[in-house]
Amino acid sequence: MQNLTLQKIMEQYIARAAIPNPPPLPLNSQHLSRRTTLFNRLFAAVYAAAILSLFYYHLTSLLKSPTSVSSFFVSISLFISDVVLAFLWATTQCNRMIPLRRREFPNNLKQLLKNDSDFPALDVFICTADPYKEPPINVINTALSVLAYDYPTTKISVYISDDGGSAVTLFAFMEAARFAAEWLPFCRKNHVVERNPEAFFESNQDLDSQSEKIKIMYAKMKIRIENILEKGKVGEEFINGEEERMILGKWTNSFTPRHHPTIIHVLLESSKNTDITGESLPNLIYVSRQKSETSRHNFKAGALNALLRVSATMSNAPIVLTLDCDTYSNDPQTPLRVLCYFMDPKVGTNCGYVQFPQRFHGISKDDVYGSEYMRLFIFNPIGMDGLLGPGYLGTGCFFVRRTFFGGPSTLEPPELPELHPSHVVQNSIRSRQVLDLAHLVARSDYEINTKWGSKLGFRYGSLVEDYFTAYLQKSEGWKSVFCNPNRAAFYGDAPMNLLDAVNQVKRWAIGLLEVTFSKYSPITFGVRSMGLLMGISYCHNAFWAFLCIPVTVYAFLPQLALLNGASVFPRVWDPWFSVYAFLFLGAYAQDLLEFLQEGSTFQKWWNDQRIWSVRALSSYFFASIEFSLKSLGISALGFNVTSKVVDQDQSKRYDQELFEFGAFSPMFLPMATAAIVNLVGFVGGLIGIWRSGGAWEEVFVQIFLAGFTVVNCLPLYEAMAFRKDGGKLPREITFLSLFLALLLCSFAAFFSSFN
């Protein structure tokens, strides 16, 4: 019946559209900039011609009789690097051919949704895994922000997946359930827009007496939760009533994050629980699926599939919102914007999901780590929206539940009728029948001999379950929409130190490599199933890790050649020099233009272009190594949760735009070594020019590359030699990188003299 709600409203919209006077008001609009599209296509054609001419230059150079083994090695290395760069550039162009921008008109929904009963139900999934890396107070702020949506409360069900199985997390949500009875009516009465309590109180200092009362309640709740977190267990003095004592009593001495029974606890039920004004509260359910050391759990994808099944037994809403634990709602009208697409038959028929961009609060002024990921979260989705739609970004995404059960015209039925997307739940979510079934489908062995993870739900086989799931859904015939309103729909946390930032990208890159080298590779399967442009567009992320090849070559090889007096690029007055100059300046200028058009700044763009080379020499480089070792059966991949805990000193240095190194990690070695080699190469090159009487034309490109890298590496030099704080580069990394740089320079000199 709930799934019929979507269909029924679409039919009403179509019926109204057939009436000539008055026509129904539009729910959304779309705009394709002809000027931008024309410019992108013309520039792509010219740039492609320049790439082909560069390939011609490389091939003619290789076909000439090489003067030495070293010169041939240099030529073939540069050629391979340029081929990789050209391929990655081509994948980007697919997202520039049809850039589509949309706008929603949520006020026009009134013509379709006249009563609360007309609204389709909404299930919200929030995933957390470790209370010490993902503080429970942040998770409950995320939950409270969506519980307080401008949406009928009886239509909202929020499910918390606690994959760490922590009593502290459950206790935090018991506190949150009580606080919600005060917070939701406060938001309605005062028309609060920031419905994350922490964000609201931080941005509103001048509070009236009622707001001060709520703030004190929130502060006391926060203190209780943090005290419990520090102790690591819930003391008897914090337990309210026999029901809480019984559920918390399940945490026995044999209970571990990797081995424990299923725990499902209904914290709020809309048909029974009310706020202080007598209004119904949304459903709030805590879920910790069963864990067994003998069963595969499939990380976040497994947790989401458990929520899909548990929610199907309890509410089975036709719309599902997935959120990371730190991604809170910043706009209470976000679900209404989503309905502007799902309720429009012109869009919603095959629309599987609506994706919002990831936005981050607390980003440093100039985004020192490039954490906004403008290309990944803004530019690419806008471009993909003109094709079949954006990918799934892992959070801030509203799905049609039916999307997880086969293609639009080929339903893949689940093994139990109660899990079917059109199943109607008749019983109370606290009834024994519902809870028994929910516990059954959350068992660790439930998925054995089923299609979950392969044909049903979120897909297994990659650490990037978001990318892989949406990619396969597109191949089945689903489309998607990118919704990018002026007011950010969601805000999340960004890493505040370099190690967390590069580790996060390394995990993504490994997962993408798993897709690239599978039977579902976008270059083959994707192109066949989705068409050329969409398939190549998905290649852009899938082949991320390959960027480490050209960046490593260009970070070391020309500079080492420069130290040995060898020229590897055309002279300044050679016509081929203009090709290199155009390719370099054209790519950077177009990238900068896109940043500025989106309202960003030059300094943010500069930091972004610097960080992608840092990721190439750390995240992508080590992702390639780990994936290769795993493919050979030498090591197994794990899933490391990115810490959301904020250290005050670290936060201060982040606001000062200082690179935060701190802990030792081998991932810092390549970038530190490259920084030293380029500095030595730049100085050595200038000395060589001075000694030769000013003959700079032959080595200008190498000098420029070394100098450009040196400027990019200024934060590294500062962390190596001048900083004394806790975020400086570890001394071991500095010494090891000096040793490696010396070794490389010595080897290059020996190799050059040998030839």
Distance in angstroms (rounded) separating the CA atoms of residues 385 and 377: 12
Confidence category of residue 697, pLDDT binned at 50, 70, 90: confident
| Half-sphere exposure at residue 221, Cβ-oriented, CA atoms within 13 angstroms | 25
Instruction: Say which residue the tokens 């007055």 belong to.
Output: 573
* Residue 312 to residue 231: CA distance in whole angstroms: 36
Across the range 720-729, mean pLDDT stands at: 88
Q: What is the rounded CA–CA span in Å between residue 76 and residue 86?
A: 15
Of 435, 431, 434, nearest in space to 423 by CA: 434
Q: Is the pLDDT of residue 277 over 80?
A: yes
Radius of gyration of the chain (CA): 28
Query: Cα–chain-centroid distance for residue 415?
Result: 32
Read off the pLDDT band of 587 (50, 70, 90).
very high
Residue stretches of the annotated binding site for UDP-alpha-D-glucose: 133-134, 163
Half-sphere exposure of 247 (CA within 13 A, CB side): 23
User: Looking at the predicted structure, is the pLDDT value of residue 65 above 90?
Assistant: no
Indicate the average pLDDT of the chain.
91
* Pairwise CA distance, residues 681 & 563, whole Å: 6
The residues that bridge with 283 in the sheet, in sequence order, are: 157
Give the per-residue pLDDT at 238. 83
Q: Judge contact between 479 and 352, C-beta under 8 A.
A: yes
106 pLDDT band (50/70/90 cuts)?
very high
- State the binding site for Mn(2+): 300, 324
Catalytic residue among 82, 123, 130, 163: 163
> How many C-beta atoms lie closer than 10 Å to residue 368's C-beta?
25
Q: Which of 605, 556, 584 is nearest to 85 (CA)?
A: 584
Q: Is the predicted pLDDT of residue 646 greater than 90, yes or no? A: no
Q: What share of the chain is helix, strand, coil (3-state, %, to 5)?
A: 55, 10, 35
Look at 650 and 102; give whichever has higher pLDDT. 102
Q: Predicted confidence band at 18 (pLDDT cuts at 50, 70, 90)?
A: low
Structure tokens at 105: 């008109």
Q: pLDDT at residue 68 above 90?
A: no
d(CA 4, CA 340): 17
Percent of the chain with pLDDT over 70: 94
Q: Residue range 33-46: average pLDDT?
A: 94
Provide the 10 A C-beta neighbour count for residue 125.
Answer: 23
Task: Look at the block and give the residue holding tokens 């998905």.
Answer: 538
Peptide bond into 22 cis (omega under 30): yes
Residue-wise burial string across 216-244, b where 16 or more C-beta atoms lie within 10 A, e elsewhere: ebbeebbeebeebbeeeebeeebbeeeeb
Beta bridge partners of 708: none
Sign of the Cα torsion 371, 139, 649, 363 reads positive
* Domains detected in the chain: 118-363+380-493 (3.90.550.10), 532-753 (no CATH)
Residue 260 has pLDDT above 50, yes or no: yes
Q: How far is CA 546 from CA 280, 287, 513, 632, 665, in A?
A: 53, 39, 9, 19, 22
pLDDT at residue 650, as a whole number: 86
Task: State the pTM of this model.
Answer: 0.94
Q: Could you tell me the pLDDT band of residue 1, with boundaries at 50, 70 and 90?
A: very low
Catalytic residue among 466, 500, 591, 608: 466
C-alpha 654/C-alpha 662 separation (Å) is 12
Q: Average of pLDDT values for 647-676?
A: 90
Structure confidence at residue 644 as a pLDDT band (50, 70, 90): low
- The stretches of 2-101 forming alpha helices (DSSP H) are 2-17, 34-63, 69-93
Long-range CB pairs of 268-272 (<8 Å, 24+ gap) are 268/177, 268/180, 269/428, 269/429, 269/430, 270/153, 270/154, 270/156, 270/157, 271/154, 271/428, 272/430
Is-contact 587 89, C-beta < 8 A?
A: yes
Residue 80 and residue 554 in contact, taking contact as beta carbons nearer than 8 Å:
no
> Which amino acid does the sequence have at 649?
D
Query: How, if at all, do strands 156-162 and 283-288 pair?
Result: parallel
Q: How far is the C-alpha of 497 from the C-alpha of 491, rounded, in Å?
A: 19
537-584 per-position pLDDT tens digit: 999 999 999 999 999 999 999 999 998 888 899 999 999 999 999 999
Asked if the model's pLDDT at residue 241 lies above 90, the reply is: no
Please list the residues that pair with 741 across neighbouring strands. Answer: none
pLDDT for residue 712 is more than 50: yes
Distance CA 549, CA 70 (A): 18
Mean pLDDT calculated for residue range 208-228: 94
Distance CA 391, CA 471 (A): 7
Q: Which residues lie closer than 8 Å to 407 by C-beta, 6 or more apart?
A: 476, 477, 478
Element (H, E) at 328: strand 328-329
Residue 753 confidence (pLDDT) above 90: no
Average pLDDT over residues 349-355: 94
> Tokens 């059109």 sit at which residue?
422
Q: Binding site residues, as ranges?
A: 133-134, 163, 300, 324
The conformation of residue 342, written as its DSSP 8-state character, comes to H
276 pLDDT higher than 50: yes
β pairing state of 263-268 and 328-329? unpaired
Average pLDDT, integer, range 46-73:
87
Q: Which is it for strands 397-400 and 351-355: parallel, antiparallel or unpaired?
A: antiparallel
Picking from 87-96, 364-373, 573-582, 642-651, which range would have the lowest pLDDT averaged per residue? 642-651
Active site residue 150: no
Cβ–Cβ under 8 Å, residues 245 and 238: no
Mean pLDDT to the nearest integer, 402-423: 95
Q: Report the phi/psi class of residue 415: left, alpha or beta, with left for phi > 0 and alpha for psi in -120 to 50.
A: alpha
Please report the pLDDT score of residue 2 as a whole number: 44
- Count of residues making up the chain: 755
Share of the chain above pLDDT 90, in %: 77
Give the integer Cα–Cα distance in Å for 750 and 705.
23
Q: Count of alpha carbons within 13 Å of 316, Cβ hemisphere only? A: 23
- Cβ–Cβ < 8 Å for 319, 338: yes
Q: 492-524 in b/e burial notation, b at 16+ Cβ within 10 A?
A: bbbbbbbbbbbbbbbbbbbbbbbbbeeebbbbe
Q: What is the pLDDT of residue 89?
A: 96
- CA 350/CA 366 separation, integer angstroms: 40
* pLDDT digit string, tens, across residues 120-139: 999 999 999 999 989 999 99
Element counts in the chain: helices (H) and strands (E): 27, 14
Count of Cβ atoms closer than 10 Å to residue 632 Cβ? 8
Is residue 116 annotated as part of the catalytic site, yes or no?
A: no
Are 538 and 471 a contacting pair, CB within 8 Å?
yes
